[in-house]
Structures are given as structure tokens and as C-alpha cells.
Structure 1
Amino acid sequence: MERFHRLAHSVWDCKYHIVWIPKYRRKALYGAKRRIVIDTIKQWARIKGIEIIEGHAMPDHIHLCVSIPPKYSVAHIIGLLKGKSASEVMSFGTKSSRMVRGRTFWARGYCVSTVGLDEEKIREYIRNQEQQESKEEDTEL
């Protein structure tokens, strides 16, 4: 993997760590819904030329480390990924649609930070999300 990407008139390296959650932080990402969300994110990332460096779908949030071409804003891409994946989950079936009130699957906001020299640490953090959360649950009062 080359560090810099090339377009016709630019050379770029734009990496972001992105996190978003289901509405009310429900543990809604499991089984078939989790697979639908993952597949939809991968499909639209491929269509838009976004490289998914690392990613993980937890039951109550999504973690992505991505490289987004500079022709797209981060907000546009997050909106696209959240919108398309929510639409796919809604069309999955009536049982999953009933769980989501008001036709809203994802919460409104998101968290994004740029990735620089700490890329490897962020990738490791995303990779080890499940183990980290299970440790925290064991020590919680």
C-alpha cells in the first residue's frame, strides 16, 4: 500500500477515524443486520473510491479507518454510508423495521478525527474493539 494516492492533478493522503452509533445507542448491529450494514458500507466505499483501511461493526457502534479522496467531504461520505446502510436495513424486513421508530436507524451525529502518525495505533484500537469492551464490562461497577 502506497502512502500517497494520485489523481489527475493531485497527490493526496487523507485518512480519517470515524465512529457512529445507532439511534439511542441500541445494540442493533447483530446477525443479518450487521452483515447488511457491513456489505453496504463496503459496496459504497468501492463505488466512491474510498479505501477501508480498518473497520469493525460492534453491536452499538461502527468504527472505520478510511482514506477518502479529497473530491469528497467527510460529512458527505458519512451521510452517504449512514443513509444507504439505514435504507438497506429498513428494507430488510418488517421485524427489523418495527424496532426502528420513525424510520431512523442511526443517531444524527458522528465522531471523526484525522489520522496521521498514529495510524497503526488507531488500526490496532479498531481491530481489538471487542476484547477491549469485554474487559471494560468485567471491571464496571
Structure 2
Amino acid sequence: MSGTFTQLQIHIVFSVKGRQMLINESIEEKLYKFISGVIKNNGHKLLQINGMPDHVHILISISPNQSISELVKYIKQGSSHMINSSRLIRDKFSWQSGYAAFSCSKSHSSKVINYIKNQKIHHQKKSFLQEYKTFLDENNVIYDTRFI
């Protein structure tokens, strides 16, 4: 076989440092556009992005030419720099270290897209920490509660 053919969808979740509620409506659109640009400029395709004031969900179709950890590093570094240099918030903005990433089959992508679109509805009933633990448990990820 002479070519590389992939269809890899990844659901990525990460939070603001200290889970501070810093992503307000006034910066949300700029932040999401910036993250979308980082994803595109690194050769991936954004399928959906949304979040809450303390965290972000991203579903992407990822190229096999870059690791997930490298992409997330570029997203976090670039977006933190953009928010701070543009002075979009009063305090210094930074993301919490680490992230979660889950594979998503093409057949389930519409369900994940709808989940991400409806973040504000989901979080009327469930906190970010509850949601995060649910994702980890459903995906059989072993974790230490001290580090989430």
C-alpha cells in the first residue's frame, strides 16, 4: 500500500487553571476562533468546539502527522498568549496542565457534536468535575483523583 489513509476523531477536554470561571461570553468567540485556527494551521479539521467558563470541549478529525499532546500544547500556549497579550481579561490567563482525549468513532460523532454544542444545558445538572470523572470512567481511564 503506497498511501496513508486515516479517519481519526478525537474529543479533547481541558480546563482553565484552578478551574477559574474566566471564559466569559465576551471572549468565548475570539478564543474559539483562535483555537480553530491553530487546529487548521496544524493540518487538522475542527468538527465542534464549545465549553463553559472553566473548560473547553473540542472534537477534531486529527491528522496522523502530529501527536495529540503536541497539538494540545500549541492550542493552550497560543490561546493563553492571545488572551493575555490582547488583555481580554483582567487577570493572567492560563490553562491547567494536562487534558483528556478520547477516540470517537465516525458513527458516534453526531452524538459527540451535539453533546459539545449543548454544554450549557448539560452543566445545569452536572459540574465539570462530575462530567470529567464520568468521561474517564466510561472510557476505562485509570486516574488518581488528586490530579483531576
| Shorter-chain TM-score tier | 0.7 to 0.9
Cα distance in 1 between the residues matched to 2:78 and 2:124 = 30
- Partner in structure 1 of residue 95 of structure 2: 106
The percentage of aligned residue pairs carrying the same residue is 23
Q: Please tell me the root mean square deviation across aligned C-alpha atoms, in Å.
A: 1.9
How many residue pairs match? The answer is: 125
> Which of 12, 15, 24 pairs up with 1:30?
24
**Contact 1:54/1:127 (<8 A) preserved:** yes
Deviation at 1:132, TM superposition (A): 1.4
Structure 1 alignment gaps of length 5 or more: 1-7
Cα distance in 2 between the residues matched to 1:88 and 1:32 = 14
Moved over 3 A (4+): none
Matches within 5 A, 1:1-141: 9-93=3-87, 96=89, 98-100=90-92, 105-116=94-105, 117-136=107-126
TM-score by length of 1: 0.80
TM-score by length of 2: 0.76
Structure 2 alignment gaps of length 5 or more: 128-148
Secondary structure of the residue aligned to 2:22 is: coil
